[in-house]
Amino acid sequence: MDLKKLFLKADNELENSEKRIRSRKITCKKCQNKTSVNKIRRNFFICPECGYYFPVRARRRILMLTDDRSFIEHDREMESRNILDFPEYEEKLSAAKEKSRENEGVITGVAEIGGIRTCIFAMDGNFMMGSMGAVVGEKITRLFEHAAKEMLPVVGVTVSGGARMQEGMISLMQMSKVSAAVKRHSDKGGLYIVLLTNPTTGGVDASFAMLGDITLSEPLARVGFAGPRVVEKTLNTALPDNFQMAERVKECGFIDAIVPRQEQKKYLERLLKFHDIYK
């Protein structure tokens, strides 16, 4: 057995390379400065020059937010199928699996955050833009059902372009299915914390991404339903520069706090400990 194949890494500049990475440099999309991969990793995948937030794959995100070696994954074997026989969907799924090195667009499981057992899910933007299909909805629903049964809090990290068009109405139905699971978990006194990352849009934003008891966001994350170009063309008017930016969404009352990436784990620990004390 080739052991190297058991530990595939994400196919992107920051997290996968055939070369040694100590001297490698990548170019920031915002400031165009070249910075070593190691330096960016040590800085929580944030450009040290301009503060640009590099995308982080779901598995890495979970490692950043949870205690060392505490994560136990659920339903890893679940994969989408071309239920509607949508043209070229199988090819898109295969390409997404190769790019993300994951079976689906979300990772779910149980871990400890600050020593507190917590259910956690993280969506992966490398898998078809983090789009939500039947399997994504089912995995998140199962996680909330497990959390309700075990009386555990849930932390969700969202990044999504919305519902997966290749699954039609089946994909849209996941909005109500996951939302119902969130409600059942809430009715039992469960805590649900959402961390919005760039971008969180479409059906995900219109359902479980906005149903948290506490809603957090990374700086400058785009949060909204329809994209700005669609809104601009529909309204036939220019939009402000901060349209759908997390800071503006917070001013409108939909986000409770904007938390820098390097502070997120400690911030979650404090929230979970408050809930653990007073529940």
The rounded distance, in Å, linking the Cα atoms of 220 and 211 is 20
Does 240 sit behind a cis peptide bond, omega within 30 degrees of 0 on the bond before it?
no
The residue written with tokens 């400990």 in the block is 273
* pLDDT value of position 226: 87
**8-state DSSP, 163:** B
Whole-number Å distance between alpha carbons of 256 and 261? 16
β-strand partners of 103: none
Q: Which two tokens stand for residue 233?
A: 């063309």
3-state secondary structure of 196: strand
How many CA atoms are closer than 13 Å to the CA of 269, on its beta-carbon side? 12
Distance CA 129, CA 92 (A): 11
d(CA 268, CA 275): 11
**DSSP per-residue codes, 111-135:** EEETTEEEEEEEE-TTTGGG-B-HH
Which residues 6+ apart lie within 8 Å of 118 measured at CB?
A: 66, 110, 111, 112, 152, 153, 154, 155, 272
Q: Which pLDDT score, from 0 to 100, does residue 11 have?
A: 45
Strand, coil or helix: 193: strand
Q: Distances from the Cα of 111 to the Cαs of 71, 144, 218, in angstroms?
A: 4, 14, 21
Q: How many CA atoms lie within 13 A of 131 on its CB side?
A: 17
Look at residue 23 in the predicted model and tell me its pLDDT. 58
Q: How far apart are the C-alpha atoms of 194 and 121, rounded to whole Å?
A: 10
CB within 8 A of 181, min separation 6: which ones? 140, 141, 144, 145, 148
DSSP 173: H
The pLDDT value recorded for residue 121 is: 98
pTM over 0.85: yes
Under DSSP, the state recorded for 5 is G
Give the span between the Cα atoms of 182 and 69, in whole angstroms: 27
| 3-state DSSP assignment of residue 23 | coil
- At 152-206, the pLDDT tens digits run 999 999 999 999 999 999 999 999 999 999 999 999 999 999 999 999 999 999 9
Taking 50 as the pLDDT cut, the residues of the chain under it are: 1, 3-11, 13, 16-21
